[in-house]
Structure 1
Amino acid sequence: AAAVAARQVKPVIMELGGKSPQVVLPDADLDLAVNGIAAGIFPAGGQSCISGSRLLVHREVIDDFTDRLVEVVKKARVGDPEDPKTQIGPMANRPQYERVLKCIADAESAGHRMLLDGRQSGREEGYFIGPTIFADVPNESHLAQNEVFGPVVSTEAWETEAEVINKANATVYGLAAGVWSRDVARAMRIADQVEAGTVYINNYFNAATQSPVGGFKQSGYGRENGWEGMRCYLQTRSVWLSTNPHQPDPFAD
């Protein structure tokens, strides 16, 4: 689409992929953070561009946080999306199902510690994968840097604010991010430094037509929604009107 637009000099709006970080501070309400982060990826099976799949949790609380996260998501009901009791449906198609399985297998081969294996979803047929959690995953690893587009998250500990901001920004993507803290001033300070088109504080996955949506870096170009989105559909014109028309001969002696 971009190549076709380029040949015809057509403007485009591109909302591309992401590897959104979820930053959990030591003073965060952990139950709120766990529920919000789980809701921000797993119900859609991770098949959303803004899925918060890179969990950056302060070292003081990471063990408690991950224990709670596992307990919350391991009871999710994976199954037929037409069943009202289902909470997580299948992968969109077989190629995506196989791709996610390969990402999980590659993460295992890389030595990342698995806390929850979603391949054991209890479904014998279909493209079903449940919540999958890997711990102690370095930010520079393949799993932490590449979009899985499946129900797979990685966790990593941090100690200083500067460190976590660097980790959050150390990716080619910049679509969304989450910050979890009771200290609103600190959360806002971090939000101002995170390279992402949308930053959520103590919530995730919300949207409104008046709020611009778009990405930084390789997560896209242009904006949808809000005044910024409207500007993408407008042309700017300059009109000059002389109130005292006079044009001298440009070639007069």
Structure 2
Amino acid sequence: MTLPRFRCYIDGAFVDTDETFESIDPSTGGAWAVMPAASAVDTDRAVRAAYRALSDAAWAGLTATQRGKLLYKLGDLLAEHAPRLAELETRDTGKIIRETRAQIGYIADFYRYFGGLADKAEGAHLPIDKPDMEVYLRREPIGVVAAVVPWNSQLFLSAVKLAPALAAGCTVVLKASEEGPAPLLEFGKLVEQAGFPKGVVNILTGFGQSCGKALTSHPLVARIAFTGGPATAQQIVHNSAENLANISLELGGKSPVLVFRDADLDSVANAIVAGIFAATGQSCVAGSRLYVERPIYDKLVDMLVAKARAIRMGDPQDPATEMGPLATARQRAHIEALLSQSVASGARILTGGQIPPDRKDGFYFEPTIVACANNQVPCVAEELFGPVLSVIAFDGEEEAVTLANDTRYGLASGVFTRDLTRAHRLVRRIRAGIVWVNTYRAISPLAPFGGFGLSGLGREGGADSIRDYTRSKAVWIRTSDDPIPDPFVMR
């Protein structure tokens, strides 16, 4: 059987690479497609194409309004082709089809949103302290952007980089993860159909040393926008010493969810399931640390165990499936090892913790709930990136805040209470970039996204993010016809 082949999109053309690799279907564990492995030479070609496009009249000559219209068209095309892209993302990553279809349709709104913002990245007039001067600030594109995204939610995570970068007038080299790059390589066809000039958007996939390092250390790259793990982020920061590029980092999380005795437990239980078992727990905002006020601990845990056991696992292409496989065998082995360490340290697995007996093919793992005594248990302290919920009881608000903030991460968090004054107190005290109150795992193009500590640097999404892809230029205009005064004294 001949496997389908994908190609990189460089300088307005789909190109083959000298090296390729097979992509694995997580639901079967078998190869399903052949992917390009961009070399350092391929990467250099893409960056240079993006650099040329920056000053080419086909792109640089467009008004901000015209750029916005291109983005709006790209959003429409994305919505139109969502079924095909969803099928590819599900095949390549194992994410269930009911979520990929819905998510990709909504991602179209991110391109429309930033398309509307393209002509609103305004400069400023300065009330300068010199009567014979007019001074204003221009906002100009920062330059070539290296956007590096992981395999999970890759169309969303690329949208929050690509859309504001293009709205600002930048050009982009987008590197898809070698784990599941199919939907982003296919997305290149929509970029072409939308009418973006050649070189403005380039899409690659490849491995760290040959592609990733060449991209993030390239001397013509002015900004790096990265989503992934802390270890790779540290390497990217090291690489950026070569070009002194501006950097934003959206990294991992061990997001705490606090549930108080007055919460609506039916609503809580559904939100917890959404936060940890949706996407098979492979989300940087996964609510993996659950803290429950002691009087309701047993009741809520029993509800969650029942819901976890009722989750329908199966073929991710089946619309009835509620949880698919993990993306890689390596990830499943990591989860199994951390769970073994956790049990050895005293944790109790309340449900799950195994490979489903009827799912020996592929990378499936059961929805798992673990009762833990403290934050030192490995499955509480470390990011598992899978369907594993750690549960700890607390007594009172002060202990809840202490437990929530006892982490090196700080991306997302959740609070469930009917007490509005308590909710406001906790919003102030929890150290996280996102606090969801009485809900979880909600996104919007209007809302910024990012974290503290090991969860990263900078924010993505929202109206301000377009400014992160621009730089200011101060323009001084002398309005006097009088001779310039003493040239040896600074004005």
TM-score if structure 1 supplies the norm length?
Answer: 0.94
From 237, 241, 249, the counterpart of 2:473: 237
Do residues 163 (structure 1) and 408 (structure 2) align? no
Which deviates more from structure 2 when the two are superposed, residues 170-179 or residues 185-194? 185-194
Residue 124 to residue 250, structure 1, CA distance change in 2 (3 Å): closer
- 2:316 alignment partner, SS class: coil
Correspondence 1:1-253 to 2 at 5 A: 1-119=236-354, 121-122=356-357, 123-244=359-480, 246-250=484-488
Cα distance in structure 1, aligned partners of 2:251 and 2:487: 55
- 1:157 alignment partner, SS class: strand
* Equivalent residue letter for 1:192: R
CA contact (8 A) 1:19 1:174 kept: yes
Cα distance in structure 1, aligned partners of 2:373 and 2:241: 39
Compute the displacement of 1:62 (Å): 0.8
Compute the displacement of 1:249 (Å): 4.0
Cα distance in structure 2, aligned partners of 1:183 and 1:16: 32
* Equivalent residue letter for 1:132: T
Larger helix share, 1 or 2: 2
Point out 4+ residue stretches in structure 1 off by more than 2 angstroms.
Answer: 1-6, 236-247
Cα distance in structure 2, aligned partners of 1:238 and 1:147: 44
Compute the displacement of 1:184 (Å): 2.2
Cα distance in structure 2, aligned partners of 1:8 and 1:172: 29
CA contact (8 A) 1:22 1:52 kept: yes
* Equivalent residue letter for 2:471: Q
CA contact (8 A) 1:88 1:130 kept: no
CA contact (8 A) 2:447 2:462 kept: yes
- 2:280 alignment partner, SS class: coil
Compute the displacement of 1:107 (Å): 1.4
- Post-superposition Cα deviations, 1:93-119, rounded to whole Å, max 9, x if no partner, equal 111111111122121111201111241
Cα distance in structure 2, aligned partners of 1:40 and 1:6: 37
Residue 137 to residue 240, structure 1, CA distance change in 2 (3 Å): farther
- Post-superposition Cα deviations, 1:198-252, rounded to whole Å, max 9, x if no partner, equal 110111111000100011111011111112322211212333344446321428x
CA contact (8 A) 1:134 1:153 kept: yes
Residue 238 to residue 109, structure 1, CA distance change in 2 (3 Å): same
CA contact (8 A) 1:158 1:164 kept: yes
Name the residue aligned to 2:166: none
Cα RMSD (Å): 1.6
Give percent identity, aligned residues only.
40
Cα distance in structure 2, aligned partners of 1:226 and 1:242: 37
Residue 236 to residue 66, structure 1, CA distance change in 2 (3 Å): same
How many residues were matched structurally? 251
Cα distance in structure 1, aligned partners of 2:355 and 2:300: 22
Cα distance in structure 2, aligned partners of 1:242 and 1:26: 67
- 1:35 alignment partner, SS class: helix
Cα distance in structure 1, aligned partners of 2:468 and 2:445: 15
- 1:179 alignment partner, SS class: strand
Cα distance in structure 1, aligned partners of 2:327 and 2:355: 18
* Equivalent residue letter for 1:168: A
- 2:407 alignment partner, SS class: coil
Cα distance in structure 2, aligned partners of 1:221 and 1:41: 24
CA contact (8 A) 1:169 1:195 kept: yes
Larger strand share, 1 or 2: 2
Larger Rg: 2
- 2:389 alignment partner, SS class: strand
Which deviates more from structure 2 when the two are superposed, residues 65-74 or residues 121-130? 121-130
CA contact (8 A) 1:222 1:232 kept: no
* Equivalent residue letter for 2:320: K
CA contact (8 A) 2:339 2:353 kept: no
Cα distance in structure 2, aligned partners of 1:230 and 1:19: 28
Structure with bigger RCO (C-alpha 8 Å, 6+ apart): 1
- Post-superposition Cα deviations, 1:135-165, rounded to whole Å, max 9, x if no partner, equal 1331132221110001111111111212211
- 1:13 alignment partner, SS class: strand
